[in-house]
């Protein structure tokens, strides 16, 4: 029987292309609406790195590890969901010369190349928009309005938040992104339904709220606020830093910012409900009104399917879950070492 801590473990997930990914304790399940109207389900075990290395569960460190693992799983899920959702859809236009060149150059690896290229572009844009641009604007303000120098950290933070909100406003007008936001709302509704101990039916899930205090959108906002407070304090200690020093400091201290934000938004606010918590998460809940939309019944059905399969995986015996190839290899290596050590001990005893 699972202990109380395990039973209280909250489920999480994210919206993907025409579907939802739900993450449990031991595995994740992703349900995607296929082009033919059916629902495809992908289930895979999660890495057990945190179980093998307890240091990854320490405060602050666990936030950095959670962010890295979530980003890795998120990119992989988006890629897998796109493959499933658009499988069988015929392209209306013939491939261009550039596309033919890429296919001839990379062959079957072209899709992996495109995925890594898209990831690199996304990281480049994120760094440019949320790190370089606010730092550049803050540096310009500091040069031309020196009286505002003590408040540049706060100004940069507010600019970063405005850029974030503006970016969401722009992309939310795209039809494809709007469907992703609907699946985002379906994910929140399904998790809320489960946390209220209600049966996971389409009707019950539809009646639940589409906003959730543990949402990644709220986490990103907490990251920006923590960053603003931290770097405002650092500017008072190092008043003569320039734009590039500030940029380097933000990159180097990003793990610390992520760790602090995780402790606040997930470990503290995520497990409590009082006036202070509601006040802290209120701005994030407002942003969620932009990043989520009311889903239809078919989208809710996909979210329910994903969550049910994730819950079912957690109820299986541990041995029933296939381990990743690397974990299996390490497990076999440990068994071989154990047998070798035992054989040596037996040999020593016989000699004695």
Q: State the 10-residue block means of pLDDT for the chain, 352 residues long.
A: 44 93 92 94 88 87 89 86 77 63 68 72 81 85 86 89 91 90 96 93 95 88 89 81 78 90 86 83 91 96 96 66 40 38 47 53
Residue 275: partners with Cβ closer than 8 Å, 6 or more residues away: none
Q: Note the pTM of the prediction, 2 decimals.
A: 0.79
Phi, psi at 214, each rounded to 5°: -95, 15
Task: Report the C-alpha gap between 56 and 59 in whole angstroms.
Answer: 8
pLDDT reported for residue 332 = 38
Domain ranges within the chain, ordered by starting residue:
4-341
pLDDT reported for residue 266 = 84
Neighbour count for residue 48 (Cβ, 10 Å): 15
pLDDT reported for residue 90 = 53
pLDDT reported for residue 7 = 42
pLDDT reported for residue 191 = 95
pLDDT reported for residue 149 = 82
């Amino acid at each position: 029987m699972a202990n109380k801590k395990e039973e209280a473990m909250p489920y999480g997930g994210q919206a993907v292309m025409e579907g939802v990914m739900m993450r449990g304790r031991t595995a994740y399940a992703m349900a995607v609406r296929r082009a033919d109207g059916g629902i495809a389900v992908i289930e895979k075990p999660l890495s057990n790195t945190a179980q093998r290395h307890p240091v990854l569960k320490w405060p602050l460190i666990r936030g950095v590890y959670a962010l890295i693992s979530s980003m890795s799983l998120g990119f992989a899920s988006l890629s897998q969901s796109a493959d499933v959702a658009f499988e069988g859809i015929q392209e209306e236009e013939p491939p261009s010369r550039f596309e033919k060149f890429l296919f001839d150059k990379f062959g079957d690896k072209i899709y992996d190349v495109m995925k890594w290229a898209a990831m690199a572009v996304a990281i480049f844009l994120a760094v440019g928009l949320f790190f370089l641009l606010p730092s550049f604007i803050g540096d310009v303000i500091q040069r031309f309005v020196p009286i505002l120098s003590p408040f540049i950290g706060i100004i940069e933070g507010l600019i970063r938040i405005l850029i974030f909100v503006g970016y969401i406003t722009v992309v939310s007008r795209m039809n494809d992104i709007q469907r992703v936001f609907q699946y985002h709302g379906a994910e929140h509704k399904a998790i809320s339904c489960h946390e209220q101990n209600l049966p996971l039916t389409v009707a019950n899930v539809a009646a639940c709220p589409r906003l959730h205090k543990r949402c990644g959108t709220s986490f990103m906002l907490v990251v920006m606020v923590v960053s603003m407070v931290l770097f405002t304090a650092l500017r008072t200690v190092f008043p003569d830093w320039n734009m590039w020093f500030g940029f380097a400091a933000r990159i180097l201290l990003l793990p610390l910012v992520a760790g602090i934000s995780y402790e606040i938004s997930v470990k503290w606010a995520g497990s409590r409900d009082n006036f202070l918590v509601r006040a802290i998460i209120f701005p994030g809940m407002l942003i969620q009104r932009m990043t989520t939309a009311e889903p239809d019944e078919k989208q809710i059905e996909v979210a329910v399917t994903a969550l049910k399969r994730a819950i079912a995986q957690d109820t299986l015996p541990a041995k029933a879950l296939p381990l990743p190839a690397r974990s299996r290899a390490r497990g076999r290596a440990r068994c071989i070492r154990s047998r070798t050590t035992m054989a040596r001990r037996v040999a020593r005893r016989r000699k004695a």
